Structure 1
């Protein structure tokens, strides 16, 4: 028996999971933590990580370390879009190594998409679908046909970057939504393989999409709001929830049951990639997955051991 820690530094939040690797090839979750860090905040067109988000992130990484170090685990630390795109990524990672002692691997967009695929397929029985992982600064899309991945791509926009670029944090103007939609559709357009996924469901990963599931389960009166893995929702319900919250102020969204206060300024932008994808492929429904990159890494680690 041994222990594996996955530290996943995303563009909006950082997550840490401790897994007990059992001798029979199975694994058991021991500890899971999530903190909002928003490392992508205020990066701007110059793509520079700013001091305040870096300090905030390093403090969270130190906290994570204090929680997992007693297990004496193998540590696999990954980071994704914001650090991947940052002009000062090398300086930031040197600082993390110096202050925390963690070496991060920067996943390419394609690697992130592939780990998403592995994580989803390890826990959901999917034959034909499009997987969508909406992060803070990127989205990953994976085509699944007959249970196999046939396309894995990453696009450089996400909930945080769209919110900042198109002023979608506070009171929402339809003109700004239209501009964001046009941007998203222009980046989807070269993905010709989407034409072969018409009528397939969308499998959802990412914080904004998890918030959507919790809001829907709250509206539906579900007793266990946070049990979203495998939860299915109609396209009509997705559209209705979006229509409700897009007419709210940020302060009103902060009080929506099922929506984290910290996501009130990025939930509108965070749902636009899904809305545009659903319409583009005429998806009949969406299915939520709580297994993604981290579970994909665990699956790979067990396979290689």
Structure 2
């Protein structure tokens, strides 16, 4: 039995999944933990991780360590994505984590992050063709899937934290700010030459902002387990209506929206602009949500390694 610990350090949150994998490569997820750390907060044009954000992250990782050190011989796979990838003080941060927690992070590229997203989705959803959209805190990954194969992939600088901080008010979003943010996002999409190949295809949404979109709608429709969004489908009109609803609210009002975490209320509009504009650009009529992504992709990769060793 192998205890696989996967830690995903993102721009907005850090997450840990612990899975038991038996000798045949069959997994069983036994624990999942998430902490909001806002690592990319106030990085600025110099792309510097700030002391307050680093402290929040270290505190969360200390909590994680208390959990995984109780396991028998844990196999730890720790990956860091956009915030650390972009940080000018990346080396200092990684050394601090290593010195204080004896934890080594692998800073993965946007392409590698997208590949793990793809593995997580195709192993858990019956997707034949579609566009995977993983909207994180500081970047988004787009993956074009055709015949269940990854055809094109790109990581772009659109994230819920960075878009919100660069363009949007944290309280009531103003029209000129919204227009500036949407113009920036459209310009980024226009630079992705292969996006037209995704025209009319369904979108598959990953990442905290996109999953929140599903949770809000499931709460509105009185689903018993509104957080179970894996495989949930939503029409384009519902996507646009939800974003319109949120734009009409100030921060205090957004914090009261059922299905929307108070920790995400100040960045949710920035997080939903990319998927809403993308669906309009591609004339996509439906989005399917996935709870499986990067951490699941790492798990499935490890399972394949174990099975290959058996064969």
Q: Quickly name the TM-score band, shorter chain normalised.
A: over 0.9
Q: Which residue of 2 aligns with 1:237?
A: 238
- Whether 1:266 and 2:267 are equivalent positions in the alignment is yes
Task: Report SS of the residue matched to 2:20.
Answer: strand
Q: Which residue of 2 aligns with 1:38?
A: 38
Mapping 1:95-174, distance limit 5 Å: 95-174=96-175
1:37–1:53 Cα contact (<8 Å) kept: yes
Mapping 1:251-290, distance limit 5 Å: 251-290=252-291
Deviations 1:246-291 (A, max 9, x none): 1100000001000000000000000001011101111110000000
Following the alignment from structure 2 to structure 1, what is the Cα–Cα distance between the partners of residues 8 and 197? 32
Q: Which residue of 2 aligns with 1:62?
A: 62
Deviations 1:135-194 (A, max 9, x none): 000000000111111011101220000000002421111111111111111111121211
Query: Which TM-score applies when normalising by structure 1?
Result: 0.99
1:168–1:266 Cα contact (<8 Å) kept: no
Q: Which runs of 4+ in 1 moved over 6 A?
A: none
Query: Which TM-score applies when normalising by structure 2?
Result: 0.97
Deviations 1:85-137 (A, max 9, x none): 00000000000000011000001011001110011001001111000000000
Query: How many pairs are equivalent?
Result: 305
Following the alignment from structure 1 to structure 2, what is the Cα–Cα distance between the partners of residues 101 and 168? 39
Following the alignment from structure 1 to structure 2, what is the Cα–Cα distance between the partners of residues 168 and 228? 29
2:168–2:181 Cα contact (<8 Å) kept: no
- Whether 1:22 and 2:15 are equivalent positions in the alignment is no
Shift of 1:292: 0.4
Mapping 1:159-198, distance limit 5 Å: 159-198=160-199
- Whether 1:302 and 2:306 are equivalent positions in the alignment is no
1:118–1:299 Cα contact (<8 Å) kept: yes
Following the alignment from structure 1 to structure 2, what is the Cα–Cα distance between the partners of residues 168 and 124? 36
Shift of 1:14: 0.3
